[in-house]
Chain A
């Protein structure tokens, strides 16, 4: 298993947190994900999808339960430990792309490699940007790129470290239909080429259907769709 989740819960302080009441977002999630699998998590807006993704990726800490990511229990690690694990095994794609506006496309893709002090950072980044069809746009800044192009850069950045698992939070949420399709195709091509596990949170029917498994998050628990 790449990921196994055991009875995971997450509580957050309710909006009027003065009263001290807690809001249960996740009420006991169980999940097993095999290597190279593609999984879609769907659910209404506000149902806790992003929260779940954050917990799976070790960005956040669960209230109870366990997440084992690439064979390591996240609960037993501190933030820096989880960070190291993320750097090694995990890639991310976000709805709002999260590219750094001050960096060119190439520099954005190089950043994760530079953090790992890879000497081949530039070559690897150029190769991936070429792979996602942006060989001509290396020196462009995010604001000079369309939404779809920006998401391609983000995908290149996510895959450049050759992660075991890729988490995508509504990767097509900000894109139009045609562009979305291209992005989806690209994601799955990459998945096939690199054998990367894909965990995608989405609203997008098309995207959900392309996944091997589709799970519905409702009332804080995961069900097969």
Chain B
């Protein structure tokens, strides 16, 4: 065994020196590096997202409950080694200087916040300072707007219920703020010990008890698992991964893209490996025959070549892991300035999985070629034409497909995407094959009309139909994959940029009263603030679906959809909002004015299991109103614009108590305008989401970079296929060139006819690739990424052009060798 191992290693070194293995190893390296670095990067971003979500919440997990959290929960968490903080959140009126203000209050204990930091400042517009504790007993920290609303300064006293508390600091940022995203009133932080003294919490008061937990991922998971079945219907566990909707949807798509790109680069590398391994195998028929001749048994042959494969796998995978790690590390350094927070390190899992992926790819794609060596007959040393048995193509393709499915599924965890990609590739290979037949058929037709080098070039293609078709397919397929990956990347990034332009709204303003609309609009105009428009809003609750009480419809009250448990924002509009898309039914015309019809958001429609023509009944301010669904819309929730689940036509709910909502972008420098706004219109509420926006943007830019560089791996892998395909046709071309030289063809003629041959090959491959790209892109856009598809006309020009150039460049490296081939060689090796 060891003796064979040493021999295998020695032979491998000799093959390496002879340049036989470079492409194979490089392809393997790229596959592994791609898997590894994508894995590492995604893992780090995901962990980073968790951490950032933790900063949104001030804890990894937050349990929200209308009752005091059960002691058993606390005990369990303590035993699991989790940090715990208890706080109470409620709304109450505070009084200062005889002015009243409804305020959102959070009373926190000495452990708050578990994660992240509170930011406070000593003066209203002073420098902010991070602290990791809450207010001391007897003190409160107030949001800046409360200062202007109540005319307060640091050191003043405020009344809360039956007690007085001292204003000790300006609360600039509370990590728990995001969870109060929907709460409306300004924010106050106090110590939990003072709550009893205020006596504002009475039986029946609306209070939320918040319990935050933080700790090791494993402990958290264990705790979550234990807690989940014990939650009552009114309790909610807000998890670490629950960030904002915009981030989630972007991350989903980015995750899918990264998986897709990494799958495709592995697949391309696999193809390159298969082609080079096949060539490697063929070039070793003689060696195998000779070794058999010298007394090696079949077993020995198999052992030696599979040991070579093993050594190659270890080296390639190790180097690939290293390359993947370094790339990812280098990228982090490049990204440093972009990142708001440093991403946490990655684990070793992506490295291990990259290593295994390397082996699976290598064996899946090269084993058949090497197994064939076993059946090389020793008689080949006497009769060169004896080729070893061909291996059943079922076995070859079956093995490759199986290893790919296993690998892609395991790597991405997405069976649907895996199967879709695989089916896509198979369909496109078939399609490309048929197209290539067509192209060759056409070539035969135009051949008689040609002359000179172009005729010779085309003749070469037509004559060596099989190997040229194979090359065309390989070229076409890898170009196609490159184009698809490039297109999707561009469209995704554009979409993110559109969605979060530099001036995406970072403030919401709600509670604008009917009679204030004009004045508010004027205020915005005066201060040069562009809003996303003012939308009317009526609060209402869905009470019946098709005349059945929702409580009867749902078997289990606790399983009631979240949207049925609370009041929804209802609106009306003549036109459909710009970022909404009508999916089914019709938008209303003027004739529908005053009719009880609605347009419903598609997610809500799906969750409520309602469709066009179904009736929903709403309770709005103690009145009931029933309306029929006339259309279903998709809504871009991640647009940071006011959006509504339910929209009515005009004059249906206009008479109910209503307020207006708007969102706008405010430069950080203009932040003080908010105080003015609140002063002028004390009843409105401004939601500041600029901090969240900043974090969202930072995540987006990380993701964008990840997307861009994963594309590079696909590019490298594609190049490997091109090179491998070029190499695979090399021996035949060499022979053809030698024969032509012997027959008196001049070097210049050979050069020109080869130029013609490769230009045509490139052109054909380019046309194949672009056709394939359009079809696959259409499927991917509509089925996976939900992007808008249109034909990429410029691709039809650049695609084939690029293909011709690429193939001419790569062939250039090889063709010189072929042309310089002296005709004497022909005699020697005939």
Asked if B20 CB lies within 8 Å of chain A CBs, one says: yes
Cα–Cα distance between A90 and B15 once the two chains are bound (Å): 27
Whether A53 lies near B295 (C-beta < 8 A) is no
Residues of B within 8 A of A92 (CB): 293, 381
Stretch at the interface among B297-305, B398-406, B492-500: B297-305
Contact A147 B297 (CB under 8 A): no
Closest chain B residue to A117, Cβ basis: B3
B445 at the A interface (CB under 8 A): no
Pick the contact of B287: A50, A96, A100, A112 (CB < 8 A): A100
Q: A100-B287, A147-B828 are in contact. Are A115 and B378 (CB under 8 A)?
A: no
Beyond A59-B378, A83-B296, A147-B828, whether A102 also contacts B290 by CB under 8 A is: no
Q: Is there contact, CB below 8 Å, between B14 and A102?
A: yes
The answer to whether B18 has its CB under 8 Å from any CB of chain A is yes
Report Cα–Cα, A90/B378, bound state, in Å: 13
| Neighbouring A residues of B378 by C-beta, 8 Å | 59, 79, 83, 86
Evaluate whether A87 and B287 lie within 8 angstroms (CB atoms) in the complex, with A50-B383, A114-B10, A147-B828 already known.
no
Q: How far is the CA of A176 from the CA of B296 in the complex (A)?
A: 33
CA distance A90 to B296 in the complex (A): 13
- Residues of B close to A90: CB separation below 8 A: 295
Which single member of B286, B292, B296, B383 contacts A100 (CB below 8 Å)? B286
A101 touches B18 (CB 8 A): yes
Question: In the complex, are the beta carbons of A80 and B299 less than 8 A apart?
Answer: yes
Determine if B828 and A112 form an interchain contact, defined as CB atoms under 8 angstroms apart: no
Nearest residue (CB) in B for A112 is B294
Which residues from chain B contact A112 at a C-beta distance below 8 Å?
294-295
Is A54 positioned at the interface, with any CB of B under 8 Å from its CB? yes
B384 at the interface (CB under 8 A from A): yes
Taking a contact as CB atoms under 8 Å apart, the answer to whether A59 and B17 are in contact is no
Interface size class of B (residues with CB under 8 A): 20 to 34
- Say yes or no for A116: interface residue by CB 8 A criterion: yes
* Residue B382 CB within 8 A of the other chain: yes
Among B15, B293, B383, point to the contact of A86 (Cβ < 8 A): B293
Docked Cα-Cα span, A60 to B380, in Å, equals 10
Q: Considering the chains assembled together, what is the distance between the CA atoms of A53 and B378 in angstroms?
A: 12
Cβ of B291 under 8 Å from chain A: yes
Q: Name the residue on B nearest A107 (C-beta).
A: B14
Interface residue? B379 (CB, 8 A): yes
In angstroms, Cα B286 to Cα A116, docked, is 19
Can you name the residue of chain A whose Cβ is closest to the Cβ of B300? A115
**Which residue from chain A places its CB closest to the CB of B384 in the assembled complex?**
A96
The answer, yes or no, to whether A144 is at the interface (CB within 8 Å) is no
What's the Cα separation between A62 and B382 when bound, in Å? Answer: 16
Residue-wise, chain A 96-121 has the 8 Å CB interface mask toward B (1 for contact) of 10101111000100011011110000
User: CB-nearest residue of chain A relative to B18?
Assistant: A102
B296: contacting residue among A53, A85, A87, A98, CB under 8 A: A87
A88 / chain B contacts, CB cutoff of 8 Å: 295
Beta-carbon contacts under 8 Å, B1-21 to A: 3, 7, 10, 14-15, 17-18, 20
C-alpha spacing A75/B215, complex, angstroms: 75
CB atoms of A111 and B291 under 8 A apart: yes
Partner of B381, one of A59, A87, A101: A59
Known: A84-B295, A92-B293. A169 touches B382 (CB 8 A): yes
Convert A55-67 into 0s and 1s, putting 1 for each residue whose CB lies closer than 8 angstroms to a CB of B.
0000110000000
User: Which residue of chain A has its CB nearest to the CB of B828?
Assistant: A147
| B270-300 contacts to A (CB < 8 Å) | 286-287, 290-300
Instruction: Find out whether the CB atom of B293 lies under 8 angstroms from the CB atom of A80.
Output: no
Q: Which residues of B contact A179 (CB under 8 A)?
A: none
A191 within 8 A of B: no
> Could you tell me the distance in whole angstroms from the C-beta of A194 to the nearest C-beta in chain B?
17
Residue A159, interface by CB 8 Å = no
Q: Establish whether residues B294 and A115, one from each chain, have CB atoms under 8 Å apart when the complex forms.
A: yes
Q: Which residues of B contact A107 (CB under 8 A)?
A: 14
A174 touches B (CB below 8 Å): yes
Q: Complex: how many Å from CA A54 to CA B378? A: 9
Select from chain B the residue with minimum beta-carbon distance to A146.
B828
- B295/A116 in contact, CB under 8 A: yes
**Complex formed: what's the CA distance from A205 to B70 in Å?**
107
A98/B7 in contact, CB under 8 A: no
Asked whether A94 and B287 contact (CB < 8 A) given A83-B295, A83-B296, A147-B828, the answer is no
Measured between C-beta atoms, what is the minimum distance from A81 to chain B in Å? 9
Within 8 A of B (CB), among A96-154: 96, 98, 100-103, 107, 111-112, 114-117, 147
Instruction: Write out the residue numbers on chain A whose beta carbons fall within 8 Å of the beta carbon of B828.
Output: 147, 174
Contacts of B286 in A (CB 8 A): 98, 100
A222 to chain B, nearest CB (A): 18
- Kindly state the separation between the CA atoms of A191 and B228 in the bound complex, as whole angstroms: 88
Q: In the complex, what residues of A have CB within 8 A of residue B379's CB?
A: 54, 59-60
Instruction: Name the B residues within 8 Å of A115 (CB-CB).
Output: 7, 291, 294-296, 300
A80-B297, A83-B292, A112-B294 known; A50+B17 contact, CB < 8 A? no
On chain A, the residues within 8 Å of B292 by CB distance are: 83
Partner of B382, one of A50, A80, A84: A50
Q: How far is the CB of B295 from chain A (nearest CB, A)?
A: 2
A94 touches B295 (CB 8 A): no
Asked if A111 meets B17 with Cβ closer than 8 Å, knowing A50-B382, A60-B379, the reply is no
Is A86 a contact partner of B295 (Cβ separation < 8 A)? yes
Query: Do A102 and B383 contact each other (CB < 8 Å), given the known contacts A111-B291, A115-B296?
Result: no
* Those of B361-382 within 8 Å (CB) of chain A: 377-379, 381-382
Q: Which residue, of A98, A101, A161, has the highest number of chain B Cβ atoms within 10 A?
A: A98
Give complex CA distance A116, B294 in Å.
Answer: 9
Contact yes or no, B297 A84, CB < 8 A: yes
B382 pairs with A59, CB closer than 8 A: yes
A185 to chain B minimum Cβ distance, whole angstroms, is 23
Instruction: Collect the chain A residues with CB atoms within 8 Å of residue B15's CB.
Output: 102
Closest CB-CB distance, A100 to chain B, in whole Å? Answer: 6
The CA-CA distance from A90 to B295 in the complex, in Å, is 9
Cα separation A102 to B296 with both chains bound (whole Å) = 19
Interface centre among B3, B299, B381 (most CB of A within 10 A): B381
Contact A103 B14 (CB under 8 A): yes
CB-based contact B293/A59 at 8 Å: yes
Smallest beta-carbon distance A175→chain B, Å: 11
Report the bound CA distance from A117 to B295 in whole Å.
12
B17 touches which one: A85, A98, A102 (CB < 8 A)? A102
How long is the Cα–Cα vector from A174 to B381 in the complex, in angstroms? 15
Docked CA distance A103–B290 (Å): 13
Interchain nearest-CB distance for A48 vs B (Å):
12
What are the residues of chain B within 8 A of A169 when measuring CB–CB?
382
Which A residues touch B18, using CB under 8 A?
Answer: 101-102
* Contact residues in A for B298 (Cβ distance below 8 Å): 79-80
Instruction: Give 26 pairs: A residue, B residue, CB < 8 Å, sorted on A.
Output: A50-B383, A54-B383, A59-B378, A59-B379, A60-B377, A80-B297, A83-B292, A83-B295, A84-B297, A86-B295, A87-B295, A92-B381, A98-B286, A100-B286, A100-B287, A100-B290, A102-B15, A102-B18, A102-B20, A111-B294, A114-B7, A114-B10, A115-B7, A115-B295, A161-B294, A174-B828
Closest 5 CB pairs of A and B: A87-B295, A102-B18, A117-B3, A80-B297, A112-B294
Residues of B within 8 A of A (CB): 3, 7, 10, 14-15, 17-18, 20, 286-287, 290-300, 377-379, 381-384, 828-829
List 14 additional contacts besides A59-B381, A83-B297, A107-B14; criterion CB under 8 Å: A50-B383, A54-B379, A54-B383, A60-B379, A86-B294, A87-B294, A90-B295, A92-B293, A98-B290, A100-B286, A103-B14, A114-B10, A115-B291, A116-B295
Give A contacts to B, CB under 8 Å: 50, 53-54, 59-60, 79-80, 83-88, 90, 92, 94, 96, 98, 100-103, 107, 111-112, 114-117, 147, 161, 169, 174
